[in-house]
Structure 1
Amino acid sequence: MDCKRIALVAHDARKRDLIAWIGANIAALDGHLFWATGTTGRLVREAHPSLDVTSLKSGPLGGDQQIGAMIAEGRIDLLVFFVDPMTAQPHDVDVKALTRLATLYNIPMACNEATADMVVSSPLFSDGYCPRPVDFAAHDSRSV
């Protein structure tokens, strides 16, 4: 098994859903490394103490940005972010920045349970899949 570095984020209304999803997929997730925003990390550790979860700051206090920085540094392989589309988020710009970075750096991102199920049930999840590296040479060498 290829050890994945997985970021976990969930809006307040979706935290219970994320905890339940992890429980339903604990066999596939066991042995991987996790980073999570503040409260999400604490709740995941309480519900699933066998998982290696490092808590960062709460999302509104910079946790989303911490995960974004880890993505930009190549330190995250998968973002599981259970989004609440029905509630306005006070830190919406941070949420958008995080999802933009996951897209930009070509890492898998699951924003709901169905997508997260597809990701962890795929043979690529355990077979050492490595996404195509992103080449920013053209961007870096552009004239301003």
Structure 2
Amino acid sequence: MTPRVALIAHDHKKDDIVALAGEYAEVLRRCELVATGTTGGRIADAHGLSVERMLSGPHGGDLQIGARLAVGGVDIVIFLRDPMTPQPHEPDINALVRACDVHNVPCATNIATARLILDALVRRLDEGKSA
């Protein structure tokens, strides 16, 4: 089964997620990628990855990804959050992270955790196992 990975980043973390996607571009090419609007566009443009783009986070993109996750359509969430800037859609963000916990989906909210999850994904794919 092809791993399904969601990529999301707040405005002050977009450069970080684009750089992270570049580091892991080879493994991400082997995945089905979904992202919120601007984040998905920046990743696709920078690295030539195929990314299904949802709405931007403040316009419901986090909720769209959460809904997909709730029915088994997302295996991993990389959500680089900006803890220092208040977000107008904080309830949506909390709902997505909660959905990850409810459905036992790995969720990285910072670069260090994202690398751990993506490194584990690299090992699984190299061993021929699904995510």
**Structure 1-normalised TM-score?**
0.84
2:57 corresponds to 1:59: yes
What corresponds to 2:34 in structure 1?
35
1:22 maps to a residue whose letter is A
| Higher Rg of the two aligned structures | 1
Structure 1 CA distance for aligned equivalents of residues 99 and 124 of structure 2: 20
Structure 1 CA distance for aligned equivalents of residues 40 and 27 of structure 2: 18
2:130 corresponds to 1:128: yes
Matches within 5 A, 1:14-29: 14-29=13-28
**Percent identity between the aligned chains?**
42
Q: Displacement of 1:26 after TM fit?
A: 1.3
How many aligned residue pairs are there? Answer: 127
2:102 corresponds to 1:104: yes
Structure 1: gaps (5+ residues): 130-144
Structure 2 CA distance for aligned equivalents of residues 125 and 112 of structure 1: 21
Find runs of 4+ consecutive structure 1 residues off by over 3 angstroms: none
Structure 2 CA distance for aligned equivalents of residues 64 and 52 of structure 1: 19
Q: Displacement of 1:103 after TM fit?
A: 0.8
Structure 2: gaps (5+ residues): none
Structure 2 CA distance for aligned equivalents of residues 53 and 91 of structure 1: 23
Look up the SS of the partner of 2:52 in the other structure.
strand
Q: CA RMSD in A?
A: 1.3
2:82 corresponds to 1:84: yes
Could you say which structure has the higher helix fraction?
2
Structure 2 CA distance for aligned equivalents of residues 125 and 82 of structure 1: 23
2:4 maps to a residue whose letter is R
Structure 1 CA distance for aligned equivalents of residues 39 and 78 of structure 2: 12
Q: Displacement of 1:125 after TM fit?
A: 4.1
Q: Displacement of 1:120 after TM fit?
A: 1.3
Structure 1 CA distance for aligned equivalents of residues 5 and 55 of structure 2: 16
